[in-house]
């Protein structure tokens, strides 16, 4: 009998809000978090918009000195993790700190800090480079800072699997609890990649939408006229616990992680296999791990990036893994509203999947106007749908062929 793993806390920073409640309200309202870039002058870029976090003041959270000693992605990770711990009412003491860990991943880490350091080196010389450059830019800084701040000494890793990162971090943290290496894990992803060089790189790949005249309509997953994804930033973190531990401390249980699938396409460094075969195997692995059949999944939170190839490939993958049940299963992409949070996407979308179960409300795919014959599933177009469900699936796929999938269920009722 393996340990059951439940969710007792959630925290997030997103382009739709700086906590779970405001973000979920924005998603259910079908509100776009996309707008013109304000973090830097983007006038010379092909794509001049993104989904930025708004109204975030790191000094208010950490003080001026400590805020300067964290990259923006680490600041997001810290705030989301602290929100999740507070929501879980988790008390950390000398008696339990060795049994609590953190797997908080990122796709590109402290890239803004690295770029700033390179520019300082170029213009002012080596002696002017910050002594904090290396620790700030490292991908493990998010989880490390969370551990230091909270004093938790359990397993601590930074999972890095491109846009599958957040989902992999949660799935691997589940496995840590299942095997008894920790009682509690903080897990998810954080990203702050809205920087000139990153957007320029995505642009020359033709990966980004170029709807500069209507940014809020740019992310349109599964629509025939989609033309690329919208870069976004933020963080999403869950508190995971063994069911026994959560029950013993009287925690409110928000849901259960029933299944986890992970594999690789071994196909291309940035493109998924067009037939969706690798992703389909991943979905099937998650279903097998959960013990559920396709007909028992009431909702799929799709990777749904709004790129021509991804949405077609993911649709094919769902049909391969689910068979005829694919046509009866609602699928939506919340990236139509949040943009693509890269390594943080899986953490945010896990939260949405759990809330869809809790509230019986399926978030929509907004900007869905013209059906694509190659994308012929039920994408919950434009408006949230009131539907009671018991199980939800969340998909994430990343450059390098990384595939990850989670299956969630309601809070267990066993005593």
Give the residue numbers annotated as catalytic, written as ranges.
163, 303, 340
- CA–CA separation, 344 and 190 (whole Å): 4
Q: Are 414 and 244 in contact (CB under 8 A)?
A: no
CA gyration radius, the chain: 20
Classify residue 33 by burial, with Cβ atoms within 10 Å: 0-12, 13-18, 19+. buried
- CA–CA separation, 415 and 392 (whole Å): 23
Classify strands 331-332 and 299-301 as parallel, antiparallel or unpaired: parallel
- CA–CA separation, 348 and 163 (whole Å): 12
Provide the Cα torsion 203, 167, 70, 157; round to 10°: -130
Q: 387 is written with which tokens?
A: 């539907």
DSSP state of 189: E
Classify strands 100-105 and 156-157 as parallel, antiparallel or unpaired: parallel
Q: What is the DSSP string of 293-306?
A: -GGG--EEE----S
Q: Are 363 and 27 in contact (CB under 8 A)?
A: yes
H or E element, residue 120: helix 111-124
Q: 297 is written with which tokens?
A: 């999944």
Half-sphere exposure of 8 (CA within 13 A, CB side): 27
Q: 44 is written with which tokens?
A: 């010379």
- CA–CA separation, 316 and 129 (whole Å): 49
Residue 116 backbone phi and psi in degrees, to 5: -60, -40
Q: Are 223 and 370 in contact (CB under 8 A)?
A: yes
């Amino acid at each position: 009998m393996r340990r059951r793993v439940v969710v007792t806390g959630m925290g997030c920073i997103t382009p739709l809000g700086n906590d779970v409640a405001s973000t979920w309200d924005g998603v259910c309202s079908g509100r776009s978090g996309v707008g013109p870039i304000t973090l830097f002058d983007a006038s010379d870029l092909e794509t001049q918009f993104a989904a930025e976090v708004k109204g975030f003041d790191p000094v208010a959270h950490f003080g001026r000195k400590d805020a300067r000693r964290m990259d923006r992605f680490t600041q997001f990770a810290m705030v989301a993790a602290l929100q999740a711990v507070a929501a879980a009412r988790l008390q950390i003491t000398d008696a339990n700190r060795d049994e609590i860990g953190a797997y908080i991943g990122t796709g590109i880490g402290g890239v803004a800090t690295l770029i700033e350091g390179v520019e300082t080196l170029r213009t002012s010389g080596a002696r002017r480079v910050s002594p904090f450059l290396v620790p700030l830019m490292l991908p493990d800084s998010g989880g490390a800072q969370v551990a230091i701040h909270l004093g938790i000494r359990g397993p601590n890793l930074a999972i890095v699997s491109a846009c599958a990162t957040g989902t992999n971090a949660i799935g691997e943290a589940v496995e840590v609890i299942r095997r008894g290496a920790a009682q509690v894990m903080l897990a998810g992803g954080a990203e702050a990649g809205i920087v000139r060089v990153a957007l320029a790189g995505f642009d020359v790949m033709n990966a980004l939408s170029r709807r500069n005249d209507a940014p809020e309509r740019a992310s349109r997953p599964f629509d025939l006229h989609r033309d690329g994804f919208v870069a976004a930033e933020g963080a999403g973190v869950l508190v995971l616990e063994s069911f026994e531990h959560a029950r013993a401390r009287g925690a409110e249980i928000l849901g259960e992680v029933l299944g986890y699938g992970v594999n690789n396409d071994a196909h291309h460094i940035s493109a998924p296999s067009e037939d969706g075969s690798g992703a389909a195997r991943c979905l099937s692995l998650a279903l097998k791990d959960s013990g559920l059949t396709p007909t028992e999944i009431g909702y799929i939170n799709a990777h749904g990036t709004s790129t021509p190839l991804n949405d077609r490939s993911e649709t094919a993958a769902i049909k391969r893994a689910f068979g005829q049940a694919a046509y009866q299963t609602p699928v939506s992409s919340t990236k139509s509203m949040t943009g693509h949070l890269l390594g943080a996407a899986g953490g945010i979308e896990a939260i949405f999947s759990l809330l869809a179960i809790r509230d019986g409300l399926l978030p929509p795919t907004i900007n869905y106007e013209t059906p694509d014959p190659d994308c012929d599933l039920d994408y919950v177009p434009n408006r949230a749908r009131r539907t009671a469900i018991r199980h939800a699936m969340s998909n994430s796929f990343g450059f390098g062929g990384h595939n990850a999938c989670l299956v969630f269920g309601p809070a267990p009722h066993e005593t």
